[in-house]
Amino acid sequence: MTMTTKSHHKSDSVSPTPSFPPLEDYGIIGNCHTAALVSRRGSIDWLCLPRFDSPSVFARILDLERGGSWSIEPTTPYETTHQYVDETNVLKTIFTCADGQISLLDFMDISGNEQQQRRAAPGRLIRIIEGVEGTVEIVSTCTPRPDYARAIPQFVISGKEVEFGRFTVTGPAEWHVDTKTNTLTCHITLQAGEQAAFTLSTQEDVQLPYSTPVDALSSTVAFWQRWASKCTYQGPYRDAVVRSALALELMTYAPSGAIVAAPTTSLPEVIGGERNWDYRFTWIRDSSFTLYALLLAGYLDDEHPFFDWIARTVKVEGTGIKILYPITADGRLAEQNLDHLRGYCNSQPVRKGNDAAKQVQLDVYGEVLSTLHFAWKTGKYNPTEIWEHIHPLLDWVAAHWHEPDNGIWEVRGGQRNFVYGKVMLWVALDCGIDMAESLDLAGDIDRWRQERTSVRTEVLEKGWSEKLGAFKQSYEDETLDASNLLLPIVGFIDGTDPRMVSTIDATIKHLVSNGLCYRYHDAPEGVSGKEASFVLCTFWLINALILAGRAAEACVWFEQMLARSTPLGLFAEEIDPESGAHLGNFPQAFSHLGVINVAVSLAHAGHAGTVQPHHVQAANAAGRGGGNALR
C-alpha cells in the first residue's frame, strides 16, 4: 500500500552503549485501550496490557536492565529515522545499514467500527518489517517482564508462536530462548520487497475477528485517517493540531469513555528527583479540558462516551466528587512504590497509583458543572436527565465555596484558599444557574446567584495582590501562579481588564524562562526538589495574550513552542528551559490540548488559519472552561 509520511523525523547513529533514550526519541502507538512507547531504535520500551492501568509487560523506560523490552533491528550497525504514516498513529522506522535498508511499521490493531471498538478486546500489537534495499539480516529480541518486572515469564514455545501467561507473541520464524536471561530471539533475512510480521496478543484478543497483519495495517491506517479528517481547522498549524488530536484520542479508554492524563507512570519532572507520578487515571479536570479541545478542532460531531461517564460518576458520588478516578470500576488508585525498579535515568521512586485521589480540590466542581453545561450547549447531553443529581452539587458549592483546598497542582504542603479553585467554584454556580434558568429546572437559584456574586467579590478583593501587581496563588501566599491565566478564558474577567493585563506581564517577568512558563515558584508543595517549566502553562499564557488583544505577540510565542515539540510533534508534561529536554509523563494530554486551543484561538482572532463556523459557535455557546479562549 502507498503511504505518505511526514517530514518530521530524526536521524542519528545508534550508540553501542545502552543508555536511557531521551523522551524526544519516542513515538506512541495505541488502540484506545492501551498505548506503547516505541524508540527510534525500534524498541518497545513501555507497554501495559490489556489496559492503560494494567501492570507493564515492557518497562525498559523505567529500568534498563530489569524492565523488559522488545526490539527489532538489523544485526549490523545502523542509523534510523522515524515518522508517522500521514495523519495516523502508525509509526514507521527506517533502518539504514551497510547491507541495505529496511522499514518497520508499528501499530496496534484497531477496529474500523468505533462503536465496536468501545466493547472489543484490546487488539493485537503488530510489527511489520519490509526490505527496502539490499539484503538485511534482522534480529527480534523480546524480553517480556510482566507485572512491572516482578515476574519472570515461563515460555511455552510452539515453533513461530510463544505463550507466556495470558500473552502470545508470534514471528515469521522459529523463536529461541536464552534460559539464562529469559529472552526470546528470532532471526530473519529480508531482501528488497519482502515482508515479515510479528504480533503480540492477549487472551481477550481471540474475541476479535482475525485479519492478517497486512489487512490489519490497512484498516488501522484507514481508521486513523478517517478520524483525523474530521479536523475543521485549516491553516499553518494544521499538522500540529491533527497530531495533537491524534495523541488525545489515543488517551481515551474506549469501553468506559474515561480519558487518561498520560499513558505512563513515574517519568520524572526533574532527573534524579522524586516528583514521579502515575498519570494513567482520569482526572476530571484534564478530561474536561481535553473534550473542549477536541470540539474546537471539530472532533466531537458524534456522541462522546465521557459525557456518560461523568454523568454516572455524579450519580454514584453525589456531592463527594473526587479529582481523579480509575478508568474502570475495578481499577486501583492506592499509591505504592515499586522499589525494585531504578526509574528513568535512575530517578526514584517509581510509583503505581496516585494518592492525590485523597485530596480536596474544589475546582473539580467547576470542571464537572462546566462539562455538563458544555455537553448541553453542544447538544450532546440533556442535563434534565440527571438534574436531581446536579442541583445538590450546586447547593453544596453554595455552602462550601469558602473552604480551603489543595489546589489544581495537588500540592502536598497543606490546604490554602487557592484563587483558581475559587474561580472554578464561581464557574460551577454560573453554569448551574444558566442551565436551571434556561430549562426551567428546580433549585434555589436566588441563593446560587447570591453566592456567585459573593465568590467573585471575594476573589477580586482577596485574590489580588498590589505587591505582585497580579492575581496571586492563594489568599495566604504572595506568590504568582500560572493557573490564574485561565481567569479570562473561563469568563471570570475580561482579557483586556487592567488587572488581567498586569497579571500577564508579571507572569512573563517572573515565571517565564527562555520562553517557557513555570507553574509557580516557592509554593507550599510538601515535596522536595525542583521542576521544569510546565508546557500547558505556556499555552495558557499564549491564550491569555490573545484575549488581551496581543495576537501578533502570541503567534510568535506559539511558533517558538511548536519548535520545541519532539521530532514526531509530541509534548511531554514539562520542558527544561535550559536544555530543551522533555520531562515528566509522556505524551501529556494537558500539553496537546494546549496546542489545539491556541491554534483555534489564533484563527478566531483572525490572525492565522480558519475553523468551520459551527464549531466556533458551539464552543462559544458552551462559553467557559477547558481552555476555551473564544469568549
316/438 same-domain check: yes
The answer to whether position 627 is within a domain reads no
99/234 same-domain check: no
Task: Give the Cα-Cα-Cα angle 236, 518, 485 (nearest 5 degrees).
Answer: 70
* CATH number of residue 98's parent domain: 2.70.98.10
425/544 same-domain check: yes
197/255 same-domain check: no
Q: What is the mean pLDDT of residues 286-303?
A: 78
Beta bridge partners of 35: 30
Q: What is the mean pLDDT of residues 583-598?
A: 95
Q: What is the mean pLDDT of residues 43-63?
A: 97
366-409 pLDDT, tens per residue? 988 988 888 888 787 888 988 999 999 999 999 999 999 988 88
548-568 pLDDT, tens per residue? 999 999 999 999 999 999 999
Q: How confident is the model at residue 117 (pLDDT cuts 50, 70, 90)?
A: low
The answer to whether position 119 is within a domain reads yes
Give the E-state strand segments of 536-604 in sequence order.
574-575, 582-583
Residue 81: other Cβ atoms inside 10 A: 17
Of 190, 215, 240, the one marking the end of a domain is 215
192/282 same-domain check: no
The answer to whether position 172 is within a domain reads yes
242/202 same-domain check: no
Q: What is the mean pLDDT of residues 587-616?
A: 83
314/190 same-domain check: no
Residue type, 253: Y
The answer to whether position 223 is within a domain reads no
Q: Output the pLDDT for position 348.
A: 92
250-281 pLDDT, tens per residue? 999 988 888 899 999 999 999 988 889 999 99
Q: Order of strands, edge to edge, in the sheet holding 533-534?
A: 533-534, 574-575, 582-583
pLDDT exceeds cutoff 70 at 102: yes
Q: How confident is the model at residue 617 (pLDDT cuts 50, 70, 90)?
A: low
Helix (H, G, I), strand (E, B) or coil at 21: coil
Q: What is the mean pLDDT of residues 4-18?
A: 40
492-535 pLDDT, tens per residue? 999 999 999 999 999 999 999 999 999 998 765 545 557 789 99
Q: Which residue has the higher pLDDT, 132 or 616?
A: 132
pLDDT exceeds cutoff 50 at 105: yes
Q: Output the pLDDT for position 116.
A: 53
pLDDT exceeds cutoff 70 at 5: no
Q: What is the dihedral of CA 207, 209, 211, 216, to 10 degrees?
A: -80
The answer to whether position 224 is within a domain reads no
Q: Which residue has the higher pLDDT, 237 or 372?
A: 237
Q: Which residue has the higher pLDDT, 109 or 257?
A: 109
Please report which helix (H) or strand (E) contains residue 57, including its range: strand 56-58
Q: Output the pLDDT for position 616.
A: 53
Q: Output the pLDDT for position 366.
A: 93
Q: Output the pLDDT for position 18.
A: 64
504-516 pLDDT, tens per residue? 999 999 999 999 9
Of 156, 191, 215, the one marking the end of a domain is 215
DSSP codes joined into one string, 303-328: --HHHHHHHHHHHHHTT---SEE-SS
Please report which helix (H) or strand (E) contains residue 253, including its range: strand 252-253
Q: How confident is the model at residue 1 (pLDDT cuts 50, 70, 90)?
A: very low
Residue-number span of the structural domain to which 19 is assigned: 12-215
Q: How confident is the model at residue 623 (pLDDT cuts 50, 70, 90)?
A: low
Q: Output the pLDDT for position 412.
A: 61
367/455 same-domain check: yes
Q: Output the pLDDT for position 615.
A: 53
Q: Which residue has the higher pLDDT, 136 or 203?
A: 136
Of 157, 182, 215, the one marking the end of a domain is 215
* CATH number of residue 607's parent domain: 1.50.10.10
Q: How confident is the model at residue 111 (pLDDT cuts 50, 70, 90)?
A: low
State the Cα–Cα distance between residues 222 and 199, nearest whole angstrom: 20
Q: Output the pLDDT for position 203.
A: 87
The answer to whether position 98 is within a domain reads yes
313/178 same-domain check: no
237/198 same-domain check: no
Q: What cell numbers appear for 11 in the block?
A: 536521524
Please name the residues in contact with 447: beta carbons below 8 A apart, sequence gap of 6 or more: 398
Q: Output the pLDDT for position 303.
A: 63
Cα–Cα nearest to 608, from 233, 231, 235, 232:
235
336/211 same-domain check: no
Phi, psi at 488, each rounded to 5°:
-75, -25
Q: For the chain, how many structural domains are there in total?
A: 2
Q: Output the pLDDT for position 113.
A: 53
Query: What are the b/e assignments for 421-455, b being 16+ CB within 10 Å?
Result: bbbbbbbbbbbbbbbbeeeebebebeebeebbeeb
Residue type, 357: A
State the Cα–Cα distance between residues 93 and 78, nearest whole angstrom: 12
pLDDT exceeds cutoff 50 at 4: no
pLDDT exceeds cutoff 50 at 539: yes
State the Cα–Cα distance between residues 309 and 177, nearest whole angstrom: 44
Please name the residues in contact with 614: beta carbons below 8 A apart, sequence gap of 6 or more: none
Q: Residue for cell digits 525498559?
A: 60
Q: Which residue has the higher pLDDT, 205 or 437?
A: 437
193/316 same-domain check: no
Q: What percent of the chain has pLDDT above 90?
A: 70
295-316 pLDDT, tens per residue? 888 887 666 777 778 888 888 8
The answer to whether position 395 is within a domain reads yes
Taking the alpha carbons of 594, 535, 356, 57 in that order, is the dihedral positive or negative? positive
Q: How confident is the model at residue 321 (pLDDT cuts 50, 70, 90)?
A: confident
Q: Which residue has the higher pLDDT, 287 or 399?
A: 399
The answer to whether position 571 is within a domain reads yes
State the Cα–Cα distance between residues 631 and 609, nearest whole angstrom: 18
Mean pLDDT (the chain, rounded) = 89
Q: How confident is the model at residue 293 (pLDDT cuts 50, 70, 90)?
A: confident
Cα–Cα nearest to 267, from 107, 45, 539:
45
Q: Output the pLDDT for position 7.
A: 31
Q: Output the pLDDT for position 374.
A: 83
State the Cα–Cα distance between residues 373 and 434, nearest whole angstrom: 8
